[in-house]
């Protein structure tokens, strides 16, 4: 049987972080599952804020899969250029729309395998759509989740799928989506590459923060020991010469 202690500790940490970020949710603006799917594809190597700037005009012109499936690449590229990698993203969202029309009558499927078979859609994107737009628990793992989960000590490794499986095993299914949103938001606001540990509600349970005590003590102790070291032979000889000259 799996050790229940890591699971309890993980839940305790998530409880504290959810208390610190009570309104954690995806920051992408959407009205339908289709809009969230396209917005999440566009968010790769970009920010949610930047994606939210371009999607109103994009969806005004191409409001659903049938419309976007017939779009000209140049027209789409012009609308999404500020999100970066706009040519590749334009191809992905047009191809995905065509596949939705051909395979799913223009609707977004509610199955992981069907979603990841679309262009530009990995597990992270599929989990975002499943959890937020389709009501099916999912645990998106992005760079923020990887960093925060490893730093806290609630998961180990840099493989998103492995970390997803590890965290899902420690949390009830109904908590997956919100827990992911919470870790992502915590990673953006508090637990950045240079973390603001003093502002973290879970620092008392964090493996990184609690380990800092020893890390910080070591240099201080080394400094004190260095101050107590006897003078070297060279320094003692210099001091004797100075006394003779007097």
Question: Mean pLDDT score of the chain, rounded to an integer?
Answer: 89
| Residue that has been written with the tokens 């789409």 in this structure | 76
Rounded CA-CA distance 20/24 in Å is: 9
Query: Is the pLDDT at 97 greater than 80, yes or no?
Result: yes
- Residues 129, 109 share a domain: yes
Give the residue numbers annotated as catalytic, written as ranges: 124, 142
Domain harbouring 22, CATH code: 1.10.340.30
Note whether 231 and 198 are same-domain residues. no
The answer for residues whose C-beta is within 8 angstroms of residue 129's C-beta and 6 or more apart is 33, 36, 37, 40, 108, 115, 138
86 and 189 assigned to the same domain: yes
Two structure tokens written together for 164: 């997803």
The total number of structural domains in the chain stands at: 2
Confidence category of residue 175, pLDDT binned at 50, 70, 90: very high
Do 42 and 109 lie in a common domain? Answer: yes
Question: Are residues 216 and 161 part of one domain?
Answer: no
* pLDDT tens, residue by residue, 147-165: 999 999 999 999 999 999 9
Q: Do 155 and 163 form a contact (C-beta atoms < 8 A)?
A: yes
Same domain, 163 and 234: no
- Domain extent, residue 181, equals 1-205
pLDDT one-digit tens code per residue, 196-230: 999 999 999 999 999 975 444 333 333 343 344 44
Question: What percentage of the chain reaches a pLDDT higher than 90?
Answer: 83
Predicted model pTM: 0.83
pLDDT at 212: 72
Asked if residue 15 and residue 126 are part of one domain, the reply reads yes
Instruction: Say whether both 127 and 214 belong to one domain.
Output: no
How far is 114 from 116, CA to CA, in rounded Å?
6
pLDDT at 229: 44
Mean pLDDT of 113-119: 98
Regarding whether 93 and 29 lie in a shared domain, the answer is yes
User: In angstroms, rounded to a whole number, what is the distance separating the alpha carbons of residues 58 and 62?
Assistant: 6
Residues 60 and 180 both lie in one domain: yes
Are 119 and 223 members of one domain? no
| pLDDT at 90 exceeding the cut of 70 | yes
Q: Is the pLDDT of residue 136 over 90?
A: yes
Pair (226, 192) in one structural domain? no
């Amino acid at each position: 049987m799996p050790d229940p202690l890591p699971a309890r500790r993980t839940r305790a940490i998530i409880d504290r972080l959810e208390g610190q970020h009570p309104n954690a949710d995806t920051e992408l603006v959407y009205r339908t599952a289709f809009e969230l799917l396209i917005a999440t594809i566009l968010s790769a190597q970009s920010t949610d804020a930047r994606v939210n700037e371009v999607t109103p005009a994009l969806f005004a012109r191409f409001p659903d899969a049938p419309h976007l499936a017939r779009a000209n690449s140049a027209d789409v590229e012009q609308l999404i250029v500020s999100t970066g990698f706009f040519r590749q993203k334009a191809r992905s969202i047009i191809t995905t729309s065509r596949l939705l029309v051909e395979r799913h009558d223009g609707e977004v499927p509610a199955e992981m395998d069907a979603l990841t078979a679309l262009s530009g859609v990995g597990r992270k994107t599929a989990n975002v759509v499943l959890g937020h737009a389709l009501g099916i628990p999912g645990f998106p793992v992005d760079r923020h989740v990887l960093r925060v989960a490893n730093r806290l000590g609630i998961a180990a490794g840099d493989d998103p799928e492995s970390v997803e499986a590890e965290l899902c095993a420690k949390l009830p299914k109904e908590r997956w989506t919100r827990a992911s949103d919470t870790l992502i938001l915590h990673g953006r606001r508090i637990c950045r590459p240079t973390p603001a540990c003093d502002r973290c509600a879970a620092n008392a349970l964090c493996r990184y923060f609690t380990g800092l005590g020893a890390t910080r003590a070591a240099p201080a102790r080394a400094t004190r020991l260095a101050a107590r070291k006897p003078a070297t032979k060279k320094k003692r000889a210099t001091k004797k010469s100075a006394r003779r000259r007097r």
